[in-house]
Amino acid sequence: MVLLLGAVTPVSRAWSEGERRVETHQRARGALELLARELTPAVVDTRMQFVVLPGEELSQAGASGVAPESPALLWMAPLGQNGQLRCVGYYLYRDQDRGFFRLKRIFIRPHPPDDPDRPNPYFPRLVNHADTRDLSMRTSPVSANWFLDRWDESAFAEEDLSNNRAVVSTVADGVIGFWVQCYDLLGEPIPWLSKAMYHPRSPLIYNSAAYFQMATTSPFDSGRTTVFLAKTPQAMKANRVPAEMEFSLVVVDESVSLRGTRVPTMQNLMDGKGALDMDASVEAFMKELEKAGIDRAEVFTTRVKLVNGS
């Protein structure tokens, strides 16, 4: 019996380890596939916005538990029946005390499902029939208020069963790191808007309504491929989404999440042009995980081409 137990224990441990690894891969890949599917048809125009913002901005709008130094995404896409627009967002949630590390999704319809004739107060306003010159309808070149001004804590109350106006759900458990990289038409990383020298000051990472230009066939004379502009009578809002986007997730299995170890804060390391150096950021985070004694963390990456980004 002792010999048999000694032979079975390593096999059982290896089997359990394999099952956890498969489960981790399925969760991460499923999350990235859903994100890519919903992001690909993202749309913008002079009345709509696409933003990548620091998670702290989402916290100020009422979201709880947003992971420090993590990004959030907000956009519009024809994901409803007959191509109806929906508001979609993704962000990283972290509750250290309970061991919850989750990639979250917020999904908002223009009308509550139980009352199709009543406007949803959380859905961004696209038109004001009573006042066609309503300045509040304009998307801002420096903020995400077109989305955030209409949200509060109730919008993110996923445990409130009576809240059917904004659906917040968990896309994947065990996600402890989340990075977003935007690319321009020439495949170069787009610098963060918050790092721009000439553009009006903004805390955002990417904003479709910012003043910028993308090179189409060759870099500008400065050697750059995306250039931010100062606000002048001649400067126009870009009103465009990135050509491509890349996402990296760092995921751990359930056994790691429940050990109570404090997960380090994410790092956002920048390159010389003010763009995120995603590889360096992920590598630095993985080293911090090792120091914290968190092993078996895995990195998953995908790159998505946006239909309306070309």
Q: Of 50, 114, 143, whose CA–CA distance to 88 is shortest?
A: 50
DSSP 226-267: EEE----SS--------SEEEEEEEE--HHHHTT-PPPPPP-
Overall pTM > 0.85 = yes
The answer for residues whose C-beta is within 8 angstroms of residue 38's C-beta and 6 or more apart is 77, 79, 88
CA dist., res. 96 & res. 81, Å (int): 38
73 contacts: CB under 8 Å, gap ≥ 6: 39, 51, 52, 53, 89, 90, 91, 180
Residue with tokens 């896409």: 77
Q: Parallel, antiparallel, or unpaired: how do β-strands 206-207 and 51-54 relate?
A: antiparallel
Q: pLDDT at position 99, please? A: 85
> Could you list the pLDDT tens digit for every one of the 310 residues in the chain?
766 656 555 544 444 444 555 667 888 999 999 999 999 999 999 889 999 999 999 999 999 999 999 999 999 999 998 899 999 999 999 998 888 999 999 999 999 887 888 889 999 988 776 776 776 678 999 999 999 999 999 999 888 777 788 999 999 999 999 999 999 999 999 999 999 999 999 999 999 999 999 999 999 999 999 999 999 988 999 999 999 999 999 999 876 665 667 899 999 999 999 999 999 999 999 999 999 988 889 999 999 999 999 8
pLDDT at 52: 98
Q: Helix, strand or coil for residue 38?
A: helix
Q: pLDDT at position 285, please?
A: 97
Instruction: Give the pLDDT of residue 21.
Output: 58
* Contact in structure between 214 and 185 (CB atoms under 8 Å): yes
At 6 the pLDDT is 61
Measure the CA–CA gap between 171 and 46, rounded to whole angstroms.
30
Q: How far is CA 276 from CA 158, 159, 294, in A?
A: 31, 34, 25
